[in-house]
Structure 1
Amino acid sequence: MRTKEMRAWEEVDRLLWYSASLKNRKLAKELASEISNLQTRIKKLEAKQDLAALRSRIAELEVENERLKNISRTANELAHVVIEDDIIVNNVDVCESCKYRARKLIEEYRKEQK
């Protein structure tokens, strides 16, 4: 299916060919003016399409930014076990499974370092 833009450029080509075949200069100038106006409208259409694409990309980036903010917020909320110099500092609200996972991670880290 042809887009509006493709049809518009085809119309410009047709008008250019027709204007070249005109013998009457006045008609040729009028047609040239119409062609120029049509080309301007096509460029505006292209600019609108570019703007729409940019708006779409901005929306995608805003969604991604919000997702990253949520990940960061979740990571901060989950960071209730702090590891400093291989010592687990226990927060009062730390669940036992988190303490267990932290200890396991330390053990795995030590094994990898050996």
Structure 2
Amino acid sequence: MPFFKGRHPFRETRFSFFHGLIHGNCPHRAAWHTEGYTVIPVTTAAPDKLLSVAEIRQRFGLSKSTTYLYVRDNRFPAPVKIGSSSRWLESEVNAWLAERVRERNARVAA
């Protein structure tokens, strides 16, 4: 028997979400923990690989300073900051490379 009568004391407060995080699989969880929240579907796609500046250097032959110069001039994708380190999404780097190939092919064809 619950310690409260009637409605759940956290039901319509901003703390209900945090209550759910603390209490995990309460029997009443399904009834009220998702009210007012958007359900985001979980994708099964593989996460994007994060590349370090060393991997960028190895892949493209660009020095560290040239890489950051290109980022500053919007000539290379911006990194994602994780703490004090910078990482590039592999999909963005591959898209950048594909764009360079398209530009080259357009110049050669012209």
The interval holding the TM-score normalised by the smaller chain is under 0.3
- TM-score normalised to structure 2 length: 0.22
Which structure has the larger Rg? 1
Q: Comparing both structures, which one devotes a greater share of its residues to helix? A: 1
- TM-score normalised to structure 1 length: 0.22
